[in-house]
């Protein structure tokens, strides 16, 4: 029974999903190193500014529909074409709105027409992402193999094109077209595999009442995603406007080296989610599982943070070259976010599992407001290191400080004690 579970389609599906994410992470780091070495510090800062600004508004295009569509397809498989068609129309409308918001925002806060041109390339290319709902279909039907192949081929194509661009000394805006090219490859494969699964996108149909229901279910997730990504990226936007593109280029190195490790807690949680859910009715074992995952994630995070602190200067010099060496001071602070990102991720997953998703939204809003305030104050006083400290103080607050507003209720008090590794049951 034990071994049959690990040979089941559920584990095979999980393996495809995790493998594609890990491969994509590694390839992006590898190619990112070459791009950073090729570009000047100023151009690398400009590249990250454009990508950060687009990333902040990207959740508008997604509308928080990924998990909602998967749930609907699992609950009502006979309504597949209606669900997919309705979600598709919502995504198209939302993506057009997102493009409009990005372009208006860029015109209001940016006078450099070259930056606006690059934002336009990425923004209009994002219309291809509306077909990402096919990923939700694959997720609901244990077909992640096909979405994973699409993403892997897209990642390899993207990496190859960027290396070619470096070899021919291409200008900066060509790297924006490489992002659109990746989206085109992935979307084409999504559609190909979907149309060969016994159905077709031509069968999709829109339903007005279903659209209202999907929007009602998805908008809290949309708001949470929007605030969460804004909290993660707003420091880079503020650095660009307060200090300049060179400083953003230096800061982006520390951000990228730290961000690579941020995916690990999420991957570990997905792998152990069945073990947690299966013991939800047994409080003692249920909380022990949460505490065990949290403990090992914290140990892992501290090890990475200490190792990076010791060898950070050598890592930056080896990977990115001497022109980015000033980033090590930022990295030594920023890498400690990983410890509290792990704690906060576990806390948010628990809140969602216990149907307290509204609290996750409130935490995200509070974190965003605090992050903007701290960035403004600390960047003025401490420069780039101040931005790193602002992020660290914000994630510490979200991991522990926000809980102080909830401890009157026993269930929240128990989980706060769990985060301090106190035995609850």
Whole-angstrom distance, CA of residue 328 vs CA of residue 313: 5
Neighbours of 323 (CB within 10 A): 18
Please name the residues in contact with 376: beta carbons below 8 A apart, sequence gap of 6 or more.
Answer: 238, 242
Whole-angstrom distance, CA of residue 276 vs CA of residue 269: 9
> Are 375 and 387 spatial neighbours (Cβ–Cβ below 8 Å)?
yes
Q: What is the pLDDT of residue 3?
A: 43
Whole-angstrom distance, CA of residue 354 vs CA of residue 283: 13
Neighbours of 390 (CB within 10 A): 25
Q: What is the pTM of this model?
A: 0.84
The token pair at 339 is 């410890």
Please name the residues in contact with 119: beta carbons below 8 A apart, sequence gap of 6 or more.
Answer: 50, 53, 54, 102, 103, 106, 110
Q: What is the pLDDT of residue 99?
A: 93
- Phi then psi dihedrals of residue 239, to 5 deg: -60, -45
The token pair at 213 is 């229901």
Q: Each residue of 105-162: pLDDT tens digit?
A: 888 887 788 999 999 999 999 999 999 999 888 888 878 889 889 999 999 999 999 9
Whole-angstrom distance, CA of residue 47 vs CA of residue 170: 14
What stretches in the chain show pLDDT beneath 50?
1-7
Q: What is the pLDDT of residue 307?
A: 94
Neighbours of 388 (CB within 10 A): 28
Q: What is the pLDDT of residue 41?
A: 93
In the chain, domain spans: 1-242, 244-425
Q: What is the pLDDT of residue 248?
A: 94
> Which long-range CB contacts under 8 A does 259-266 form with residues at least 24 apart?
260/25, 260/29, 261/301, 261/304, 261/335, 261/338, 262/338, 262/341, 263/21, 263/25, 264/297, 264/300, 265/297, 265/301, 265/341, 265/342, 265/345, 265/346, 266/345
> Are 344 and 399 spatial neighbours (Cβ–Cβ below 8 Å)?
yes
The token pair at 98 is 């997102």
What's the gap between Cα 376 and its chain centre?
A: 24
Q: What is the pLDDT of residue 2?
A: 38
């Amino acid at each position: 029974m034990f071994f049959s579970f690990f040979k089941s389609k559920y584990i095979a599906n999980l393996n495809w999903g995790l493998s594609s994410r890990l491969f994509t992470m590694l390839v992006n780091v590898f190619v990112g190193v070459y791009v950073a070495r090729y570009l000047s510090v100023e151009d690398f800062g400009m590249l990250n500014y454009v990508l950060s600004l687009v990333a902040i508004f990207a959740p508008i295009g997604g509308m928080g529909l990924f998990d909602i569509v998967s749930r609907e397809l699992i609950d009502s498989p006979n309504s597949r074409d209606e669900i997919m068609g309705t979600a598709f129309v919502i995504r198209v409308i939302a993506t057009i709105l997102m493009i409009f918001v990005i372009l208006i925002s860029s015109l209001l806060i940016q006078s450099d027409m070259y930056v606006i041109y690059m934002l336009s390339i990425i923004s209009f290319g994002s219309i291809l992402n509306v077909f990402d709902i096919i990923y939700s279909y694959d997720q609901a039907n244990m077909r992640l193999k096909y979405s994973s192949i699409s993403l892997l081929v897209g990642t390899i194509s993207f990496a190859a094109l960027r290396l070619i661009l470096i070899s021919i000394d291409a200008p900066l805006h060509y790297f924006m077209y490489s992002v659109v090219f990746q989206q085109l490859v992935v979307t084409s494969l999504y559609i190909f595999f979907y149309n060969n699964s016994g159905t077709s996108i031509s069968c999709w149909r829109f339903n007005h009442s279903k659209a209202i229901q999907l929007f009602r279910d998805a908008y809290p997730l949309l708001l949470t995603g929007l605030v969460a990504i804004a909290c993660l990226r707003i420091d880079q936007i503020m650095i660009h406007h307060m200090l300049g593109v060179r400083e953003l280029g230096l800061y982006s190195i520390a951000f990228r080296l730290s961000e690579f490790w941020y995916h690990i807690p999420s991957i570990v949680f997905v792998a152990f989610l069945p073990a947690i859910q299966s013991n939800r009715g047994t409080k003692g074992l249920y909380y022990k599982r949460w505490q065990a995952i949290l403990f090992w994630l914290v140990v892992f995070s501290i090890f990475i943070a200490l190792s990076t602190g010791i060898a950070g200067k050598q890592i930056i010099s080896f990977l990115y070259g001497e022109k980015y060496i000033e980033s090590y001071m930022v990295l030594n602070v920023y890498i400690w976010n990983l410890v509290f990102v792990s704690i906060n991720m576990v806390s948010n997953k628990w809140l969602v599992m216990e149907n307290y998703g509204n609290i996750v939204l409130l935490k995200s809003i509070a974190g965003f407001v605090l992050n903007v305030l701290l960035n403004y104050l600390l960047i003025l006083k401490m420069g780039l290191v101040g931005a790193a400290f602002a992020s660290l103080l914000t994630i510490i607050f979200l991991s522990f400080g926000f809980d102080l507003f909830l401890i009157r209720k026993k269930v929240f008090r128990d989980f706060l004690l769990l985060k301090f590794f106190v035995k609850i049951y």
